[in-house]
Amino acid sequence: MFHIKSQSVNHLASSLVLALSLGFSGASEAQLKNMGNGLINDTDLNVTWLRDANSFFTLSGKGKDPAKAQKLIDDIIAVVPSLADAIEVHDIVREDFNTRNGKMSWWGAKAWVDYLNSINYKGFNDWRLPLVNPVNGVELNCTTTYDGSTDDGYNTTAVNPTAHELPHVFYQELHNLSQVKLNGLLRSKGYGLKKKGPFAHLKKSLYWTGTPNPLYAAGGDMFHFDTKNGGMGHDQKVFPLNAYAWIVRTGLAPKQVSRAGASNSTTPIPTGGRFE
C-alpha cells in the first residue's frame, strides 16, 4: 500500500488522548430528522440543513432556463451588491456564479446566503455557510494530518465528531469513508460520497465553509470540504467556480406542515463515523 505520509503510533495514541480529554469516545448517537419543506434537522449539531445541497442550481432553473438564472443573479446583486473583508471590497458579479452546475466563488456563496436571508427563505433569516470549529476546542490547527487531530486533512471528525459541520454529515451521519485511513494509507476503493442519506443534489465536489484559514489573518483564504475524498482543505475566496454552497442554520426547525409526498420521519444512524 502507498503511504501518503507516515504517522507514528505515538501520534495516533496522542489523538486518542485528545479525544478522551475532550469527552468523545469516537462514536455518537447520530440522528437526522426530515422535518418537511426541504429541511433536515441534525440533532447532534443542533442545526438545520437545507435538504437540497445545491439550492442555487435548483432555484435558478437547473441550467435549463438562462433567463431565470440571470434574473436570480440580478436579484442577488440587487440585495448584495458587494462584500468586504480586511483585504478588499468585492463587487458581486455574474461571474461569481456558474449557472450550468451551481458552483460559485466564496463571494458568490456568501451573497447567496445573504440573499436567502433577505427573502426569509423557508421561514428563516439566519442561514449561513457551514462552520469549522477547532477540533481541540481551543484554536484552529492547519497542520495536515489523517487521524483527526487537526483541522486540515482527512478524518477530521475522528477525534471530535461535532467540530466540523460538513465532515460531521459526511462521516458521522452518512457513514462515508475518507480516501486516506487514520494511519495515512490510501484506500483504493469504497471511499468518498457513496451515501447521501435524505439529502438531494449532494455532489462529489468541494463545498465552501464560512470559516477563514487562520494562517491568512486577513481572511482571504477559506476552508472547504471535498466530498470526493473526505478531505478538509482551503483556498482563496476568488477560487475559480469549483465549489458549491450548502446552506445551514443554527437551531432545529419545527416540524413543517405536511405536503403530498413529503416525509417527516426520523432517519436514525446508530453509531458514529467509519474510520477503519
**How does pLDDT run across 169-201, given as a tens digit for each residue?**
999 999 999 999 999 999 999 999 999 999 999
Residue ranges per structural domain of the chain: 9-23+30-268
Grid cell 455518537 in the structure block, residue: 28
Provide the whole-model pTM: 0.85
pLDDT value of residue 272 = 57
Contacts of 107 (CB under 8 A, 6+ apart): 83, 90, 92, 96, 237, 238
Asked if residue 262 has pLDDT above 60, the reply is no
What pLDDT score was predicted for residue 85? 87
- pLDDT at position 24 is 46
Q: Which sign, positive or negative, has the C-alpha torsion 115, 116, 120, 124?
A: negative
Percent of the chain predicted with pLDDT > 70 = 80
Q: Give 161-175 pLDDT, tens digit per residue.
A: 999 999 999 999 999
The C-alpha atoms of residue 195 and residue 249 are separated, in whole angstroms, by 22
145 or 15, which is more confident: 145
**Residues 205-250: tens digit of each pLDDT:** 999 999 999 887 566 789 999 999 999 999 888 877 789 999 999 9
Q: Is the pLDDT of residue 261 over 60?
A: no
CB-CB contact of 158 with 182 (8 Å):
yes
Q: What pLDDT does 32 receive? A: 94
Helix 66-79 crosses helix 106-118 at what angle (to 10 degrees)? 80
Contact between 165 and 47 (Cβ < 8 Å): yes
